[in-house]
Structure 1
Amino acid sequence: MLPRLLLLLTSLLLPLSAIAETVTVAAASNIKFAMEDIAREFEAQSGHRLKLSFGSSGNFVAQIKHGAPFELFLSADEKYVKLLHQSGVTANHGDIYVYGRLALVAAKGSPLSLDAELTGLKALIDSGELRRFALANPELAPYGERGRELLQAANLWDGIKDKLVLGENVSQAAQFALSGSAQGGIVALSLAKAPQFAAKANYVAIPEDRHQPLGQRMVLLPKASAAAHELYTFLQGDKARAIFADYGFSLPARHAKPEASH
């Protein structure tokens, strides 16, 4: 009788560790710092672990279509999630988790004068002093696409396109701007606000009405575990939303019933 009782007590003490899972997540590079903070909160609360991969949304779509073992995709633009759904990969369109913002950035000591109207950038282009400018590849990264849209609307694209240093994703573009490989760049506000970035560079936020909205959509993938479903719900909760807001994201209205199920 005693051994059975001990076995029962042991089984009651183990459930958290026994059911702990590792969730594989493909995440747009612009949410890197916010997502790392969120991961710590989620892991502490749930007992699960997150395996985070950061990169360009366009590249992740190709990987997922070829069977990459991700359980959750957090895109930098909703069109990529919709592409997956149209291809029959996902059961639904998922949900917008944040709206992204752009920032004009320059390393401290750069000759680029920062302002939301891009007049300082225009002056540097017109003077012939602009040598390199960082941008995420518009063909792969939504933030690069919106950055190009912003420059075109300001009539600066023709004068700057031959001076671009293109990052595979917006995080790499930010590194180019920080390292001195470029005199400035257009990157995600969420990266510019990160302490690691702010210590080395200055930035100015670009008004949201200067480009098409950056609705960042997430979706569960066919291999999603129960833990991935928990994470999906957590990302729409108070703790995650507060962290996203701290990094400069705008938040969507709350959904009564998130599209978390397949």
Structure 2
Amino acid sequence: MPSSLRRWITVATLALAAFGWQRAALAQSAPAAQPTVAAAADLKFAVEEVAKLFEQRTGHKLRLVFGSSGNFYSQILQGAPFHLFMSADEDFVFKLADAGKTLDRGRLYAYGRIGIMVPKGSPLKADGELKDLAAALKDGRLRKFAIAAPDHAPYGKRAKEALQHVGIWEAIQPKLVYGENIAQTAQFATSGSTEGGIIALSLAKAPQVAALGDFALIPESWHQPLAQRMVLMKDAPQAVRQFYDFLATPEAQAIMVRYGFAMPKE
């Protein structure tokens, strides 16, 4: 096993283990005043880079927690001490706003994309039109295929829509391995435990992931848009409010674009 792959699996495993602990204990253990950002897992590399630049400019250090948007939505409803929620699906933000949990209805910060990722040595091809994936279902090359859980992960929901678009959703379901979020799905899709998976372009753009296999974009017309919206909580401290504004600056947006996000025009 290549050393880069071992490092990725180790880091991903530790990160996921840490996230599991955070999800269970955050509401009880995290200081309420600690500036905390709950961000969709597709943002991991991009937002870490933006936050680092923000810290250099302002001196404010933020606590970043990554996971599935659906899980964060449920945790915020239950009172988890997050101050900024960066969702991969704007509907979760609207629901929180309607429940009176947020400062307002937030702001679109990006549009995401999905694609197929296959690890080195996979019998699958990185074919964005999913024709080879359909063929592999028939000829026996496909044993396992990873997507994020569609019930709470927006990128999983869009993956399901793309698979439905090409007419293979029913046939592929017995082969599916579901990631808790899109970061775990990327681990499954690149570790060799599956023949591939559908992951976020923003993760495939990260050098740590790109080195592990091949990636091809799926046409965006095959699924609903990944309209990603962020929103402040009513008790957000000043540092988090500044970060919210910083995300709209040309410097921050340039980082997001480099990771494959499209910027909203509003």
RMSD: 1.1
Percent identity over paired residues: 53
Residue 208 of structure 1: CA displacement? 1.7
Residue 120 of structure 1: CA displacement? 0.9
Q: Which position in structure 2 is the counterpart of 1:162?
A: 174
Residue 76 of structure 1: CA displacement? 0.6
Say whether the 8 Å CA contact 1:22–1:49 is kept in structure 2.
Answer: no
Question: After the TM superposition, which residues 77-226 of structure 1 pair with which residues of structure 2 at under 5 Å, given as runs?
Answer: 77-226=89-238
Partners of 2:252 and 2:87 lie apart in 1 by 16
Residue 207 of structure 1: CA displacement? 2.2
Q: Which position in structure 2 is the counterpart of 1:44?
A: 56
Q: Deviations over 1:52-73 (max 9, x none)?
A: 0000001101111111111100
Q: Which position in structure 2 is the counterpart of 1:238?
A: 250
Q: Deviations over 1:165-192 (max 9, x none)?
A: 0001011011001111110100101001
Partners of 1:252 and 1:73 lie apart in 2 by 18
Provide the aligned length of Structure 1 versus Structure 2: 234
Partners of 1:222 and 1:66 lie apart in 2 by 15
Q: Tell me the TM-score normalised to structure 2 length.
A: 0.86
Question: After the TM superposition, which residues 8-47 of structure 1 pair with which residues of structure 2 at under 5 Å, given as runs?
Answer: 22-47=34-59
Residue 91 of structure 1: CA displacement? 3.2
Partners of 1:39 and 1:115 lie apart in 2 by 34
Letter in 2 for 1:143: Y
Runs (4+) off by over 6 Å: none
Say whether the 8 Å CA contact 1:22–1:48 is kept in structure 2.
Answer: no
Q: Deviations over 1:57-106 (max 9, x none)?
A: 01101111111111100001101101101111113210110000001000
Q: Which position in structure 2 is the counterpart of 1:12?
A: none
Which ranges of structure 1 fall in alignment gaps of 5 or more residues? 1-20, 256-262
Which ranges of structure 2 fall in alignment gaps of 5 or more residues? 1-32
Q: Which position in structure 1 is the counterpart of 2:79?
A: 67
Letter in 1 for 2:252: A
Q: Deviations over 1:114-141 (max 9, x none)?
A: 2121111111111122100000000010
Partners of 1:178 and 1:252 lie apart in 2 by 30
Say whether the 8 Å CA contact 1:69–1:223 is kept in structure 2.
Answer: no
Residue 22 of structure 1: CA displacement? 5.0
